[in-house]
Amino acid sequence: MTRILYTLVLLLAAPFLLFSLLKNKPNKPVIGSRWKELFGYSPVLNSQSREVIWIHAVSVGETIAVTPFIKALKQQSPDLIIVLTTTTATGAKQAESLKDLVTHRYMPIDFSFTISNFVNRINPSKLIIVETELWPNTINMVSKSNIPIYILNARLSEKSFKNYQKVRKLFITIADNLTKVLCLHQDDAKRFSLLGVEENKIHITGSIKFDIKTKDSDIKSGEALRKTFGANRPIWVAASTHSGEEEKMLNVHKKILETIPEALLILIPRHPERFNLVKNLAKNKFTTNSRTSKNQSNSNIEVYVADTMGEMMTILASSDICVMGGSFLGSKVGGHNLLEPAALGIPTLIGPSYFNFNDITKQLSDVRATEVVHTEEELTEALLNLFNNPKELKEKGIAAHAIVEKNTGAIKKSLCHILG
């Protein structure tokens, strides 16, 4: 009965969901003619008796996070066919970088008939869901087809836990059909247990995001980009920013320039449809250039807007300090992952709202590799302090990289649980 009520609510919400997914937005990839996949009418997969594993990663962040796992999975089982689904078109765009390893499909809307259509077309032996994208009808239909379901990199913040408690009866129908929940940390495991997941299904494997590998090509392209700005300039990047945060970063940069006039701010908006808006915001106050601009960057540029996708590591590699977005908006977002800059040995600053990344932030904070700042004034002071103390800047970067190295191994543990 609970799942029937959920389906009725989803039926009412579906037109708005479809409108959001199919609406054309500037700089944002489109689903286009592949819209039928949202209803499970995906191209039939010709597996030729090879095993198929279905991995679902909702959008860009999850696709990036699961990439090292996919590479390890293919290395261990080269003949395996991996079908990677994403919900968003930006996730699909990111998945293009894995076209030699996976077959991409759009995730069907969570109706029983759409999931049944999809499963019949790809015939997977396992479903691996990245993080906590738990759709009741999907879980139910996949389980009814006797397909094991694994939650990889499972995390459950206190906020999400409280939300699931409100619909606990619905969550129990999900929990009963899960094969294994591979959790990031003990706190996540405890919350899943309190929601009704059986203890023997819960395992702590750590975060696969710690197994991030930096590419020499990213570092070299980052160094080359830095040279276009002026190799010796102090450079800070505000990464994965949301609406309302760019204004804060630009205010802070204005204060930074009063003390360090040669400093450069790089803005990386989280969502591509906001690229033009952010460029216009910056141009109103500063000499601005962007990644897609034909104008050559130089030492006179005060703000640089990274308006491309898939180049986060390159942009980070060109900077000295990273300020992580999604963390200066109260309880709306809950921060973003600090591990990419940490893997490059770059110290970070983060706002007070980072509930989705509590453990990672705490580990980095404990070794002073990141600092939590609450106001524009605190952020300005912290940036100036780091720029004026190059020895401390370097030490924090080394400490950040050491935390990443210390926590590697989650992919190997996860593969053991999934492949047996």
Q: Does residue 33 lie within any of the structural domains?
A: yes
Q: How confident is the model at residue 307 (pLDDT cuts 50, 70, 90)?
A: very high
Query: Are residues 300 and 279 both part of a single domain?
Result: yes
Q: Does residue 209 lie within any of the structural domains?
A: no
Q: Does residue 413 lie within any of the structural domains?
A: no
Q: How confident is the model at residue 4 (pLDDT cuts 50, 70, 90)?
A: confident
Query: Are residues 243 and 290 both part of a single domain?
Result: yes
Range of the domain at 196: 2-204
Query: Are residues 100 and 236 both part of a single domain?
Result: no
Q: Does residue 139 lie within any of the structural domains?
A: yes
Q: Does residue 154 lie within any of the structural domains?
A: yes
The arithmetic mean of pLDDT across residues 213-220, rounded, is 91
User: What pLDDT, on a 0 to 100 scale, did the predictor assign at position 47?
Assistant: 73
Query: Are residues 126 and 55 both part of a single domain?
Result: yes
Is the confidence at residue 2, as pLDDT, over 80? no
What is the average pLDDT value for the chain, to the nearest integer? 93
Chosen domain end from 151, 170, 204? 204
Is the confidence at residue 420, as pLDDT, over 80? no
Q: Does residue 411 lie within any of the structural domains?
A: no
Q: How confident is the model at residue 330 (pLDDT cuts 50, 70, 90)?
A: confident
Domain count for the chain: 2
Query: Are residues 176 and 257 both part of a single domain?
Result: no
Summarize pLDDT for 353-399 with one digit per residue, the tens: 998 888 889 999 999 999 999 999 999 999 999 999 999 999 999 99
pTM of the model: 0.79
Residue 404 CB partners (closer than 8 Å, separation 6+) = 210, 212, 339, 342, 343
Q: How confident is the model at residue 21 (pLDDT cuts 50, 70, 90)?
A: confident
Is the confidence at residue 195, as pLDDT, over 90? yes
Annotated catalytic sites, by residue? Answer: 62
CATH of the domain at 171: 3.40.50.11720
Query: Are residues 34 and 136 both part of a single domain?
Result: yes
Chosen domain end from 182, 204, 226? 204
User: 3-state SS string over the chain?
Assistant: CHHHHHHHHHHHHHHHHHHHHHCCCCCCCCCHHHHHHHHCCCCCCCCCCCCEEEEECCCHHHHHHHHHHHHHHHHHCCCCEEEEEECCHHHHHHHHHHCCCCEEEECCCCCHHHHHHHHHHHCCCEEEEECCCCCHHHHHHHHHCCCCEEEEEECCCHHHHHHHHHCHHHHHHHHCCCCEEEECCHHHHHHHHHCCCCHHHEEECCCHHHHCCCCHHHHHHHHHHHHHHCCCCCEEEEEEECCCHHHHHHHHHHHHHHHCCCCEEEEEECCHHHHHHHHHHHHCCCCEEECCCCCCCCCCCCEEECCCCCCHHHHHHCCCEEEECCCCCCCCCCCCCCHHHHHCCCCEEECCCCHHHHHHHHHHHHCCCEEECCCHHHHHHHHHHHHCCHHHHHHHHHHHHHHHHHCCCHHHHHHHHHHC
Query: Are residues 375 and 250 both part of a single domain?
Result: yes
Summarize pLDDT for 164-177 with one digit per residue, the tens: 898 888 899 899 99
Q: Does residue 415 lie within any of the structural domains?
A: no
Work out the percent of the chain whose per-residue pLDDT is above 70: 100
Query: Are residues 66 and 126 both part of a single domain?
Result: yes
Query: Are residues 108 and 138 both part of a single domain?
Result: yes
User: What pLDDT, on a 0 to 100 scale, did the predictor assign at position 310?
Assistant: 84
Chosen domain end from 204, 237, 254? 204
CATH of the domain at 294: 3.40.50.2000
Q: Does residue 173 lie within any of the structural domains?
A: yes
Summarize pLDDT for 122-155 with one digit per residue, the tens: 999 999 999 988 999 999 999 999 999 999 999 9
Query: Are residues 138 and 109 both part of a single domain?
Result: yes
Is the confidence at residue 332, as pLDDT, over 90? no
Query: Are residues 146 and 232 both part of a single domain?
Result: no
Query: Are residues 147 and 220 both part of a single domain?
Result: no
